[in-house]
Amino acid sequence: MQPGDSHGVRLVRGIGARTRARGAVRRLLIILTLGLLAPGLPAFAASPEAVNDNVLRVLAWPGYADSDVVSAFEAQFHVRVEVTFVDSDEALWTRMHSAAPPPYDVLAANTAEIQRYAHERLLAPIDLSRIPNRRRQLPNFQQLAMIDGLVEEGAARAIPFTYSSMGLIYDRRQVSAAPRSMRELWNPRYRGKVLDFNSAQHNFSFTALALGYPDPFRLSPAQTLAVAHKLIDLRRNLLTYYTLPEEATALFVEHRAALMFGNYGTQQVELLRRAGADVGYVIPDEGALAWLDCWAVTRGAQHPELAFAWINYMLEPAIGALLTERQGLANTLAPPPGLDTGHQHLVWLQPVEDIARRESLWSRIVSGDRPERFGK
């Protein structure tokens, strides 16, 4: 699947990637737990008859808006939620540009993408007084101005939600010692045993780190070409490319992959272990890319107050706990257990020097274009 080819799947009333919800008891507990949340936020419909008049359009990643979580929000606010899921930054970008203004009210995106959308004036300022649950967040996530791209012209543009490193996943049965570098992906020993994420931006960036370049987001033309040739070399070891974490899990287990670039990080590790795989996860010595996904409100939001209510709802402790329990992802409310991020070399995503150039080269790489056609 080419980056950008998957334009998302619209799902009404939150029927999403997690079709195996925990059942009626869990859903009832969530509704009871959250039914009294945010008393300062208004109800958006006085009766069920008005539900169809109040529709919240959510653009998100799989696992961020499970069906029972969405149903509880609908019950609390007497609204209907339409969730569209995407599987890449490219697909998210395409969706956000499918109409003017964007046909969504609220979206989840990493900080690098938030900066792009804010630069294009696609995001609305967030009234922080409408997000009282921010006080529950860890202090570093409350200080929005300290996070690149979240404050523009003095106004908040996004609220942190979840984050993960993008490390190296390995099969303990085939890889006896934990790898020290992403360069292990090129080891001839693992020919046909490597899984890679299908994305131009992240592949160029993690390969730049592996090559020792100081800034993986600001590559010179010569560096960009060198990275492209390195990614061409990686094709020798590839089993295939993946897009979704569930797809990666199935491929890893079925084909006994040895190594995988973990674009979804700890979320993939959790899925693999639940599938019975004996996997390890490492942050390479050269550092690992890391993403911080945030919720933002679009400039074309039809119900801004409802969008604010959604973001506030996503910061409820019960929602954060479910995100960590089900997806293996950290939330912004509690420190992740057993993870000492202070001693890990994480490189937070930033906008890159030339997205179009990276995507053009990546399209040729995944299509099998010959190395000599890329120049020197």
Q: pTM above the 0.85 mark? A: no
Distance between CA 9 and CA 161 in Å, rounded? 22
Low-confidence stretches of the chain (pLDDT beneath 70): 1-52, 337-344, 376
Question: Token pair of 85, please?
Answer: 């899921």
Contact 67, 21 (CB under 8 A): yes
pLDDT of amino acid 110: 97
- Give the CA count within 13 Å in the CB-facing half-sphere of 177: 4
Of 184, 160, 324, residue with least CA distance to 260? 184
pLDDT of amino acid 376: 59
Give the tens place of pLDDT for each residue, 136-183: 999 999 999 999 999 999 999 999 999 999 999 999 999 999 999 999
Give the tens place of pLDDT for each residue, 259-280: 999 999 999 999 999 999 999 9
Question: Token pair of 77, please?
Answer: 């606010």
Element (H, E) at 162: strand 159-166
* CA 288 to each of CA 80, 102, 253, 291, 319: distance values in angstroms, whole numbers, following the listed order: 39, 32, 24, 10, 27
pLDDT of amino acid 48: 52
Q: First-to-last CA distance in the chain? A: 28
pLDDT of amino acid 371: 87
Give the tens place of pLDDT for each residue, 96-129: 999 999 999 999 999 999 999 999 999 999 999 9
- Give the CA count within 13 Å in the CB-facing half-sphere of 19: 3
**Angle formed by the axes of helices 221-234 and 200-210, nearest 10°:** 100
Provide the 10 A C-beta neighbour count for residue 178: 12
Longest Cα–Cα distance in the chain: 66
Q: SS3 for 82? A: strand
Domains and CATH numbers, the chain: 9-163+291-331 (3.40.190.10), 168-282+345-374 (3.40.190.10)
Estimate the share of the chain in helix, then strand, then coil, as percent rounded to the nearest 5.
40, 20, 40
Contact 213, 223 (CB under 8 A): yes
